[in-house]
Amino acid sequence: MDYPIVECIPNFSEGRRIEIVDQIEAAIAAIEGVHVLDRHMDGDHNRSVITFAGHPEGVLEAAYAGIARAAELINLDEHQGEHPRIGATDVVPFVPIQGVTMNDCVDLAKRLGARVGEALGIPVYLYEFAATRPDRVNLADIRKGEYEGLKTSIVSDPDRLPDFGPAKLGPAGAVVIGARVPLIAYNVYLTTDDVGVADAIARVIRHSSGGLRYVKALGMLVDGRAQVSMNLTDYTRTPLARVVELIRRETQRHGVSIHHSELVGLIPQSALIEAARWYLQLDQFEPDQVLESRLFEAMRVDQSSGDAFLQALASGDPTPGGGSAAAYAGAMAAGLVAMVARVTLGKKKYASVEERMQEIADQADELRQVLSESVQRDSEAFEAVMAAYRLPKDTEKQQDEREEAIERATVHAAQVPLEVCRYAVTLLELAQEVGASGNLNAISDAGSAGAMARACLTAAGMNVRINASGLKKGSQAKAWLAELEKLEARASQFEANLIQLIKKRGGI
């Protein structure tokens, strides 16, 4: 099963003060399991787009953290910019990438909307696949009147009541949250400062005016040039090259041309490949003919040997470190348990335990998968702690926020190795069982599985203790340490039993 990955691309109404965007990004990056992939700031639009991805629950938490921080730092009563907006955090889309469905993203949108409305008191509108009404599917329809117009209509027009939160705007405005397919934000700059030309071209290409399906467009003046600002909402049905060529034709009609274009955020590789196929007339082209694609696939296969992880472990970087190594040892223990169980299957001598051995093999496979994922999760948790320590501390407020972020990140950094400790004890118990009733020819492998599981527990336990000592919330740290002591006591008993079994069955 694919590891679940969701992408989130919130748009914030601030593109001029880098220190503000830095703090919003830091709040997002501090969440365990979340990777910030890109940040785009535009001074004329006065807008920033931060792209991040990760496990759905982590992405949900990071989106909330970004919205909460933006609400503290951005006052829309003082905001001016070219781009339409109704909120400090203007729009928050969830996009399914791997191992999740669109319905999963709709659920994330609704959960986030309910939390933002209740905890932050910010009105929330749901859009695209998460929309609760047909007239709210389109983001532009929700943004009509922008922040200034919504201030009045939200309290007087029943059609403008939010899906969550109060029917009243504060300086953070409202936020639009939803689920959608991957979108390409693409801007074309013209060789003119006449924004009327950009408006005319936008009317021709956008679907709402009779243009191309899956294209939204506006004409703007940015950096002294007329700009056609676009969102391509389904590039698989309206390819990027088709949009560019239509714009090129329209510029000729107006006696201008394309000066340059830009992407806002990230673009799917397949969209660029399709554009290259069109322009170069590579009718027989296949995506795996891209050198990097073939190379990355080969490297992915190589990484399964563990060489890449061991090289990273030996590097001068702080991650991966001991916590990741503990999880890696646990994954090896799980692999050995599964192997002993499987070499027992199909043997007449062990027919009485065949069903149980199959169950153990399946359980060990699941543990191997989750521990393999924990190798990366531990590194991400530690990186989040380091990111929190890098937050500004010049004022008393910043100091408090920094300490809160450090505490939150440290909690996450302790939770990952504590989970690994639990898995390690389960593996020791399974190693004892396959050692007692599995194939005698693999008795030493059962013992090796137990030894690796014990090493996993010892190393992960050290990480739990270190992180617990750095917490200000002593009660939580005490609970973790108490659980760890119980786990270690159980592990010692399983380990002693396994050693006795090996001596007895192995004739040592």
Q: SS3 for 255?
A: coil
220 and 154 in a single domain? The answer is no
b (16+ CB within 10 A) / e for 111-129: ebbebbbeebebbbbbbbb
Each residue's pLDDT, cut to its tens digit, for the chain (508 residues) gives: 456 899 999 999 999 999 999 999 999 998 877 999 999 998 988 999 999 999 999 999 999 999 999 999 999 999 998 889 999 999 999 999 888 899 999 999 999 999 999 999 999 999 999 999 999 999 999 999 999 999 999 999 999 999 999 999 999 999 999 999 998 999 999 999 999 999 999 999 999 999 999 999 999 999 899 999 999 998 989 999 999 999 999 999 999 999 999 998 888 888 999 999 999 999 888 877 888 777 766 655 444 455 677 877 887 788 888 999 999 999 999 999 999 999 999 888 999 999 999 999 999 999 999 998 888 888 888 888 888 888 888 888 888 888 888 888 888 888 889 999 999 999 999 999 999 999 999 999 999 999 999 999 999 999 999 988 888 777 778 888 999 999 999 999 999 999 888 888 876 6
The answer to whether residue 471 sits within a structural domain is yes
67 and 91 in a single domain? The answer is yes
260 is catalytic: no
175 and 188 in a single domain? The answer is no
CB 377 within 8 A of CB 331: no
CATH classification of the domain holding 444: 1.20.120.680
pLDDT of 255 reads: 97
Alpha helices for 118-262 (secondary structure H) = 139-143, 146-156, 195-205, 240-253
364 and 392 in a single domain? The answer is yes
**Cα(143)–Cα(85) distance, rounded to whole angstroms?**
6
**Cα(434)–Cα(354) distance, rounded to whole angstroms?**
11
Number of structural domains the chain divides into: 3
The answer to whether residue 312 sits within a structural domain is no
The answer to whether residue 488 sits within a structural domain is yes
The answer to whether residue 296 sits within a structural domain is no
**Cα(481)–Cα(468) distance, rounded to whole angstroms?**
8
Domain of residue 434: give its range. 320-506
CB 395 within 8 A of CB 451: no
The answer to whether residue 138 sits within a structural domain is yes
The answer to whether residue 417 sits within a structural domain is yes
CATH classification of the domain holding 91: 3.30.990.10
Domain boundary among 120, 147, 179: 179
| Burial of 279 from C-beta contacts in 10 A (0-12 / 13-18 / 19+) | exposed
463 and 482 in a single domain? The answer is yes
195 and 122 in a single domain? The answer is no
Q: Can you read off the two tokens belonging to residue 70?
A: 């933006």
Instruction: Look up residue 210 and give its amino acid.
Output: G
pLDDT of 306 reads: 59
Task: Describe the strand order of the beta sheet including 215-222 as a list of residue ranges.
Answer: 215-222, 225-232, 184-190, 258-264
- Which 8-state DSSP code applies to residue 314? T
CATH classification of the domain holding 243: 3.30.70.670
* Residues pairing with 264 in the sheet: 185
**Cα(202)–Cα(216) distance, rounded to whole angstroms?**
8
pLDDT of 401 reads: 86
pLDDT of 377 reads: 87
The answer to whether residue 21 sits within a structural domain is yes
pLDDT of 297 reads: 65
pLDDT of 480 reads: 87
172 and 188 in a single domain? The answer is no
Can you point out the beta strands (E) in 456-507? none
**Cα(475)–Cα(464) distance, rounded to whole angstroms?**
14
pLDDT of 477 reads: 83
Pairing of strands 258-264, 34-42: unpaired
Domain boundary among 130, 160, 179: 179
Q: How far apart are the first and last CA of the chain?
A: 42
Active-site annotation holder among 40, 55, 79, 83? 83
CA angle 106, 112, 113 (to 5 degrees): 90
